[in-house]
Structure 1
Amino acid sequence: MSVEGALNRLDGVSAAEVNLEAGKVDVTFDESKVTVDAMKEAIEEQGYDVEA
């Protein structure tokens, strides 16, 4: 939930769904408002490593 919340707080993210068992995040976002780097940073701030 913390990763979903962090992503959903970003301007431009309309939906985020995390599957911790699979180690995956599905994000629906507006590329003109948020960058992939910003989303990676939000995830890393929650204590997770990001592989992309």
Structure 2
Amino acid sequence: MLNNAVVFLIIAIIAAVFGFGGIAGVAATIAKVLFVIFLILFVVSLIKGRK
């Protein structure tokens, strides 16, 4: 999942460089959402692993 977030972040950066503002914004939003989901799942797995 972290890999997908990085891929969408790279797509957003490339789209922003070429001037595609709408595509860059959507890709950046998807990257942020995936990164937050990854962080939540990571914290949950850390908590479950201790028990």
Q: Which has the higher contact order (CA 8 A, sep 6+)?
A: 2
Structure with bigger helix share is 2
Structure with bigger strand share is 1
Greater Cα radius of gyration, structure 1 or 2: 2
TM-score scaled to structure 1, two decimals?
0.32
